[in-house]
């Protein structure tokens, strides 16, 4: 825990490393949110200490009661950036230098996951099924919220930070599900969900670091973080475009990459929960399933936007057109996470063998898997199985078949020409579809998730022929806009009220208050001991 | 022999796909009082596309050359997962429902990448609309498949339909609701009339067509084949839910094929009827039928959970 505080302080300095005014506010916000989390967590630890009289983890095993676990969960939820306390993450991660944000998103938030797993699964003393359901549901909601906000974001790094919120939500949904199924003694479900959690922790660390590093390279060579100013980079940096395609597909959890394997486990455990006898639990399972599916679909658009706007089409500005080209060592370094993403996606069995040992320690049940497939069985009945390697082989065979047939049958040559634009000769690269427009339909349908303020302004209001119009749109997180911003205001108001009612200037009243406080604290002390 | 039969099933579905699309088209034209196209019209179209040269945009990157093959292969794989009239599909082992959903989402992803690769606004419009429909219909598809999974206590298409073939003879209420939901998402995903118009390239109706506006020659042929396969995939899914009848061996194979084709024809006429009776909807009214589909699948799932 102390180490964690050191980490917070150090990362505070890492964020403000780039000496700019704009980085200070998010850094301070991060610092305070993290401290707030620590307050909850250390309270939980002190309660455990009071119970056991020791301070090492071994003696805490199976000792935590419901209150301790809830407190710890609130603390870890703040540290992991879970809904509704996620705003600091989206503020703090993008302003840090790229290498630091890769580290923060990839590794540091995972420490909160470790803590939550410690408390919920190892220190678990009481079984409160509701707590598991609540965590699962909050995780799912924060996944949806994270991806909805990522959808509306045009800043490359901010989009990735919101995607971290989404992935942490998915991980916490898995943790909640694991805790719930352990408390209900559904060990096979717990095995699935816990595998999903551990695998997604590894996967998210991989592909999020990859994407942050890629965005760092982009910023280095184009000097902008705004997507609307990029475009057409696939022709300037083809290798980087391929890497990025892998990263993006892994983040959308598309097969055959690593993200799919872990999300598959989560889906299967949710479906398994829906199979269960209890009707209420099945309802919770399908509710979560619906949210997670919607999240998955919206992740598709979000990263389509990321990839399509940044890498495809025509360059939107001169910076993008004349960008530098990534050097060979950058390509080499980035190849490592790319290769790992593909490897885990096609051959998950090597990683799963390690994870199976961990899940066995918690749930007491082995994951059914062999070299070629992963099997899910309940009471000896096969539910489903996944053949990641075979799927890739089948896909390659089918694609080769299609290619050969086309090669034999097709006669035409390939010719290059300008894109057809209704017969107009339009060379204005600003006339392409923009990132905002690409997601406008979905944002309009799900408008309750955003607080959007948009306006059209005309330059010369009074003339009949207006020369130009400016469209402005500001999209913000409703939680941020309505709650977080107002906290200082509410605090000031409350303390004002407090002041006016207590600081009356009457000495007798002060003495009475002190006496009253003494009695209250003595009562609490006796009550506790 | 089993492998051979599975392969025949796969081949038959793929080869007849343009025929069923032509039947829908012809029925519509006949109802309108036109003479109608030949039933083999779409085979000729594909053949014609294959002979033409490919014109690729100046802005296109490697994506444009890769995507047509990827999309056609994805839908071929999806078709190979279906036990339409023979009990063992070619890729039965891969027919996990989540895998299938994500595979079809992957196809949408690549299609829209292709659209954005051309650097014109049409592609962007198409991509945006395609994803709007996809985002709204994907939860419904998952719910439909999970409801079937709960009924059969298995999350694999192969086993699900093995189970339903043995058990269900009567159409139950959840099954009818599932059918309704599946018809709605079939129309949305394969861009049929209330959602999109497959017959025109007019800007207002475009979602799927706008994405492939720049494609030509063999690339366009692959996209067209993929679109036919997508429609046939959803229609076969419907066929397998209504009175499933799949052959276990050679003896019942021909009656199973005949029954399958009869059901496919029924759905062809149904789609043609829906397309004739409905106008194309405004884009922001589309969430209404899609949410009706979602509620239907939700009800089906709740009834199934209560029932088990």
Q: From the list B73, B101, B123, which residue is nearest A399 (CB)?
A: B73
Mean pLDDT to the nearest integer, A270-278: 79
User: Is B103 in Cβ contact with A274 (below 8 Å)?
Assistant: no
pLDDT at residue B233, as a whole number? 92
* Residues A177, A132 contacting (CB under 8 angstroms): yes
Mean pLDDT to the nearest integer, A205-222: 86
Q: How far is CA A373 from CA A201, A203, A384, A387, B19, in A?
A: 21, 19, 10, 5, 37
Three-state DSSP string of A124-164: ECCCCHHHHHHHHHHHHHHHHHHHHHHHCCCEHHHHHHHHH
Angle of helix A238-251 versus helix A258-275 axis, rounded to 10: 10
* Residues B147-196: tens digit of each pLDDT: 888 887 777 887 777 776 666 566 778 888 889 999 999 998 888 878 87
Residue B118 contacts A, CB cutoff 8 Å: yes
pLDDT at residue A367, as a whole number? 67
| Token reading at B283 | 């884009």
* Residues B144, B297 contacting (CB under 8 angstroms): yes
User: Is A373 in Cβ contact with B97 (below 8 Å)?
Assistant: no
CA–CA separation, B136 vs B147, rounded Å?
Answer: 18
pLDDT at residue A529, as a whole number? 60
* Residues A66-81: tens digit of each pLDDT: 777 777 778 778 777 7
User: Is A420 in Cβ contact with B213 (below 8 Å)?
Assistant: yes
CA–CA separation, B258 vs A506, rounded Å?
Answer: 97
When pLDDT is cut at 50, 70 and 90, the band that residue A17 belongs to is very low
Averaged pLDDT score across all residues of chain A = 76
Residue B99 contacts A, CB cutoff 8 Å: yes
* Residues A254, B74 contacting (CB under 8 angstroms): no
pLDDT at residue A476, as a whole number? 64
User: Is A444 in Cβ contact with B284 (below 8 Å)?
Assistant: yes
pLDDT at residue A452, as a whole number? 65
Q: From the list B52, B63, B124, which residue is nearest A437 (CB)?
A: B124
pLDDT at residue A414, as a whole number? 78
When pLDDT is cut at 50, 70 and 90, the band that residue A19 belongs to is very low
The 10 Å CB-count burial string (b at 16+, else e) for A465-491 is eeeeeeeeeebbbebbeeebeeeeeee
* Residues B82, A370 contacting (CB under 8 angstroms): no
Q: How many CB pairs under 8 A join A and B?
A: 252
When pLDDT is cut at 50, 70 and 90, the band that residue A159 belongs to is confident
Which residues in chain A touch residue B62, judged by CB atoms under 8 angstroms apart? 234, 238, 241-242
Question: Is the predicted pLDDT of residue B269 greater than 80, yes or no?
Answer: yes
DSSP H stretches of helix in A20-155: 24-52, 57-60, 66-80, 87-95, 98-103, 109-117, 129-151
According to DSSP, the β-strands at B54-57 and A414-417 are parallel
Which residues in chain B touch residue A244, judged by CB atoms under 8 angstroms apart? none
When pLDDT is cut at 50, 70 and 90, the band that residue A483 belongs to is low
Question: How many Å is the maximal CA-CA distance in chain A?
Answer: 102
Taking alpha carbons only, the member of B303, A113, A253, A436 closest to residue A105 is A113
Q: From the list A274, A290, A391, which residue is nearest B139 (CB)?
A: A290
Query: Higher confidence at residue A78 or residue B229?
Result: B229
CA–CA separation, A51 vs B233, rounded Å?
Answer: 61
Name the pTM for this structure: 0.87
Question: Is the predicted pLDDT of residue A64 greater than 90, yes or no?
Answer: no
Angle of helix B173-189 versus helix B121-152 axis, rounded to 10: 160
Helix (H) and strand (E) counts in chain A: 23, 6
Q: From the list B52, B102, B298, which residue is nearest A255 (CB)?
A: B102
CA–CA separation, A408 vs A123, rounded Å?
Answer: 65
Identify the residue whose tokens are 């606004």: B121
pLDDT at residue A62, as a whole number? 63
Query: Higher confidence at residue B200 or residue A198?
Result: A198
When pLDDT is cut at 50, 70 and 90, the band that residue A502 belongs to is low
Q: From the list B102, B117, B217, which residue is nearest A313 (CB)?
A: B117
B297: CB partners within 8 A, 6+ apart: B140, B143, B144, B147, B177, B178, B181
Q: From the list A267, A297, A394, which residue is nearest B91 (CB)?
A: A394
pLDDT at residue B204, as a whole number? 64
Three-state DSSP string of A183-224: HCCCHHHHHHHHHHHHHHHHHHHHHHHHHHHHHHHHHHHHCC
Averaged pLDDT score across all residues of chain B = 85
CA–CA separation, A137 vs A435, rounded Å?
Answer: 30
CA–CA separation, B81 vs B89, rounded Å?
Answer: 6
A13: CB partners within 8 A, 6+ apart: none
Mean pLDDT to the nearest integer, B201-228: 82
Q: How far is A235 from chain B (nearest CA, A)?
A: 6
Q: From the list B112, B124, B155, which residue is nearest A268 (CB)?
A: B155
Query: Higher confidence at residue A23 or residue B123?
Result: B123
Question: Is the predicted pLDDT of residue A392 greater than 70, yes or no?
Answer: yes
CA–CA separation, A76 vs A59, rounded Å?
Answer: 21
Which residues in chain A touch residue B99, judged by CB atoms under 8 angstroms apart? 255, 264, 386, 391
pLDDT at residue B229, as a whole number? 93
User: Is A301 in Cβ contact with B105 (below 8 Å)?
Assistant: no
Task: Find, in chain B, the residue whose alpha carbon is nearest to that of A388.
Answer: B94
pLDDT at residue A22, as a whole number? 47
Task: Find, in chain B, the residue whose alpha carbon is nearest to that of A294.
Answer: B139
User: Is B214 in Cβ contact with A297 (below 8 Å)?
Assistant: no
Q: How far is CA A479 from CA A78, B128, B198, in A?
A: 14, 27, 42
* Residues A271, B80 contacting (CB under 8 angstroms): no
Give the total residue count for chain A: 529
User: Is A445 in Cβ contact with B93 (below 8 Å)?
Assistant: no
Q: How far is CA A96 from CA A23, A104, A160, in A?
A: 8, 9, 13
Mean pLDDT to the nearest integer, A45-74: 70
* Residues A98-157: tens digit of each pLDDT: 777 777 777 777 777 877 787 777 766 666 778 888 888 888 888 888 888 888 888 888
When pLDDT is cut at 50, 70 and 90, the band that residue A20 belongs to is very low
Which residues in chain A touch residue B124, judged by CB atoms under 8 angstroms apart? 432-434, 437-438
pLDDT at residue A373, as a whole number? 66
User: Is B127 in Cβ contact with A433 (below 8 Å)?
Assistant: yes
ipTM of the predicted structure?
Answer: 0.91
Mean pLDDT to the nearest integer, A354-361: 79
Query: Higher confidence at residue B276 or residue A372?
Result: B276
Question: Is the predicted pLDDT of residue A506 greater than 90, yes or no?
Answer: no
Mean pLDDT to the nearest integer, A180-197: 83
Q: How many CB atoms lie within 10 A of CB A364?
A: 11
Q: Please confirm whether the linkage preceding A256 is cis (ω < 30° from 0).
A: yes
When pLDDT is cut at 50, 70 and 90, the band that residue B308 belongs to is low
Question: Is the predicted pLDDT of residue A16 greater than 60, yes or no?
Answer: no
Three-state DSSP string of A399-451: HHHHHHHHHHHCCCCEEEECCCCCCCCCCCHHHCCCHHHHCHHHHHHCHHHCE
Residue B302 contacts A, CB cutoff 8 Å: yes
Question: Is the predicted pLDDT of residue A6 greater than 80, yes or no?
Answer: no
Question: Is the predicted pLDDT of residue B66 greater than 70, yes or no?
Answer: yes
Query: Higher confidence at residue A34 or residue B90?
Result: B90
Question: Is the predicted pLDDT of residue A166 greater than 60, yes or no?
Answer: yes
Least trusted range by pLDDT, from A224-238, A298-312, A492-506, A513-527: A492-506
* Residues B156, B140 contacting (CB under 8 angstroms): no
User: Is B119 in Cβ contact with A432 (below 8 Å)?
Assistant: yes
Mean pLDDT to the nearest integer, A493-502: 71
Classified as helix, coil or strand, A328 is helix
Which residues in chain B touch residue A231, judged by CB atoms under 8 angstroms apart? 119
Q: Residue A386 pairs with which residues in a beta bridge?
A: A374
Taking alpha carbons only, the member of B143, B145, B114 closest to residue B130 is B114
Question: Is the predicted pLDDT of residue B73 greater than 90, yes or no?
Answer: yes
Task: Find, in chain B, the residue whose alpha carbon is nearest to that of A424.
Answer: B120
Residue B207 contacts A, CB cutoff 8 Å: no
Q: From the list A264, A402, A418, which residue is nearest B72 (CB)?
A: A402
E strand or H helix at B204: none
When pLDDT is cut at 50, 70 and 90, the band that residue B74 belongs to is very high
Question: Is the predicted pLDDT of residue A202 greater than 60, yes or no?
Answer: yes
Residue B170 contacts A, CB cutoff 8 Å: no
pLDDT at residue A468, as a whole number? 60
According to DSSP, the β-strands at A374-378 and A451-458 are unpaired
Mean pLDDT to the nearest integer, A208-215: 87
Question: Is the predicted pLDDT of residue A15 greater than 60, yes or no?
Answer: no
Q: How far is B33 from chain A (nearest CA, A)?
A: 32
**Checking phi first, is residue B243 left (phi over 0); if not, alpha (psi -120 to 50) or beta?**
left
| Token reading at A141 | 């909601």
| Token reading at B213 | 């506006």
Mean pLDDT to the nearest integer, A148-177: 86
DSSP B74-128: HHHHHHHT--SSBSS-TTGGG-BHHHHHHHHHHHHHHHHHHHHHT-SHHHHHHHH
Percent of all residues in chain B with a pLDDT value above 90, rounded to a whole number: 21
């Amino acid at each position: 825990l102390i180490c964690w505080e050191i980490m917070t302080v150090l990362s505070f300095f890492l964020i403000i490393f780039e000496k700019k005014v704009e980085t200070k506010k998010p850094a301070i916000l991060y610092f305070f949110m993290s401290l707030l989390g620590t307050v909850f967590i250390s309270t939980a630890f002190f309660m455990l200490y009071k119970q056991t009289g020791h301070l090492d983890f071994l003696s805490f095993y199976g000792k935590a009661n419901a209150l301790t676990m809830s407190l710890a969960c609130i603390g870890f939820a703040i540290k992991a950036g879970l809904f509704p306390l996620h705003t600091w993450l989206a503020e703090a991660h993008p302003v840090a230098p790229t290498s630091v944000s890769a580290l923060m998103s990839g590794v540091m938030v995972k420490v909160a996951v470790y803590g939550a797993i410690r408390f919920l699964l190892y220190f678990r003393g009481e079984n409160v099924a509701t707590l598991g359901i609540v965590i699962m549901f909050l995780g799912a909601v924060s996944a949806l919220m994270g991806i909805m906000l990522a959808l509306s974001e045009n800043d490359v790094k901010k989009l990735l930070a919101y995607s971290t919120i989404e992935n942490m939500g998915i991980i916490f949904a898995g943790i909640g599900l694991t805790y719930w199924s352990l408390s209900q003694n559904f060990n096979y479900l717990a095995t699935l969900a816990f595998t999903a959690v551990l695998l997604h922790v590894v996967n998210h660390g991989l592909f999020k670091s990859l994407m942050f590093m890629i965005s760092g390279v982009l910023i280095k060579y184009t000097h902008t973080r705004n997507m609307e100013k990029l475009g057409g980079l696939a022709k300037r940096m083809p290798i980087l475009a391929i890497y990025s395609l892998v990263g993006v597909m892994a983040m959308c959890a598309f097969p055959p990459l690593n993200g799919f394997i872990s999300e598959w486990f989560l889906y299967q455990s949710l479906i398994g929960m829906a199979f269960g006898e209890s009707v209420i639990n099945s309802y919770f399972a399908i509710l979560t399933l619906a949210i997670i599916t919607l999240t998955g679909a919206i992740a598709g658009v979000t990263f389509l936007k990321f990839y399509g706007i940044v890498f495809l089409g025509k360059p939107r500005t001169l910076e993008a057109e004349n960008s530098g080209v990534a050097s060979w060592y950058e390509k080499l370094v980035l190849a490592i996470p790319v290769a790992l993403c593909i490897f885990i996606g096609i051959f998950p069995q090597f990683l799963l063998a390690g994870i199976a040992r961990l899940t066995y320690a918690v749930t007491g049940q082995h994951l059914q898997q062999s070299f070629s497939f992963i099997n899910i069985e309940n009471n000896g009945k096969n539910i489903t199985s996944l053949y990641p390697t075979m799927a890739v082989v089948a896909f390659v065979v089918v694609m080769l078949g299609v290619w050969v047939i086309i090669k034999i049958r097709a006669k035409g040559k390939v010719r290059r020409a300008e894109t057809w634009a209704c017969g107009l000769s339009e060379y204005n690269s600003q006339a392409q579809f923009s990132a905002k427009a690409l997601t406008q339909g979905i944002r309009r349908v799900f408008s309750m998730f955003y607080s959007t303020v948009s306006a059209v302004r005309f330059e010369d209001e009074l003339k009949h022929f207006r020369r130009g119009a400016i469209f402005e749109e500001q999209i913000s997180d409703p939680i941020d806009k309505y709650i977080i911003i107002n906290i200082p205001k509410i605090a000031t108001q409350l303390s004002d009220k407090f002041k006016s009612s207590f600081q009356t200037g009457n000495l007798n009243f002060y003495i009475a208050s002190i006496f009253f406080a003494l009695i209250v604290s003595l009562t609490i002390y006796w009550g506790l001991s | 022999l089993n492998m051979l039969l599975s392969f025949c099933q796969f081949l038959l579905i793929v080869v007849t796909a343009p025929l069923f699309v032509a039947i829908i088209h012809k029925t519509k034209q006949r109802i309108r009082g036109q003479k109608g196209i030949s039933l083999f019209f779409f085979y000729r179209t594909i053949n014609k596309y294959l002979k033409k040269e490919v014109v690729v945009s100046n802005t296109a990157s490697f994506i444009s050359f890769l995507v047509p093959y990827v999309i056609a292969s994805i839908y071929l794989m999806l078709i190979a997962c279906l036990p339409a009239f023979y009990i063992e599909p070619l890729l039965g082992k891969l027919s996990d429902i989540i895998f299938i959903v994500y595979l079809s989402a992957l196809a949408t992803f690549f299609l829209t990448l292709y659209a954005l690769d051309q650097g014109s606004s049409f592609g962007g419009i198409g991509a945006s609309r395609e994803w709007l429909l996809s985002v709204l219909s994907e939860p419904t598809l998952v719910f439909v498949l999970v409801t079937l999974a709960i009924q059969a206590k298995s999350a694999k298409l192969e086993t699900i339909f093995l189970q339903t073939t043995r058990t269900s003879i009567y159409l139950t209420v959840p099954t009818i609701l599932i059918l309704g939901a599946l018809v709605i998402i079939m129309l949305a995903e394969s861009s049929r009339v209330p959602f999109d118009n497959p017959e025109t390239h007019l800007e207002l109706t475009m979602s799927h067509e706008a994405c492939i506006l720049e494609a030509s020659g063999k690339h366009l042929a692959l996209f067209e084949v993929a679109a036919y396969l997508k429609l046939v995939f959803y229609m076969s899914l419907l066929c397998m839910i209504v009175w499933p009848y799949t052959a276990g061996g050679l003896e019942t194979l021909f009656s199973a094929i005949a029954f399958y084709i009869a059901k496919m024809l029924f759905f062809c006429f149904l789609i043609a009827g829906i397309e004739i009776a409905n106008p194309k909807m405004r884009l922001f009214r589309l969430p209404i039928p899609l949410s009706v589909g979602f509620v239907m699948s939700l009800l089906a799932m709740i009834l199934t959970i209560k029932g088990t």
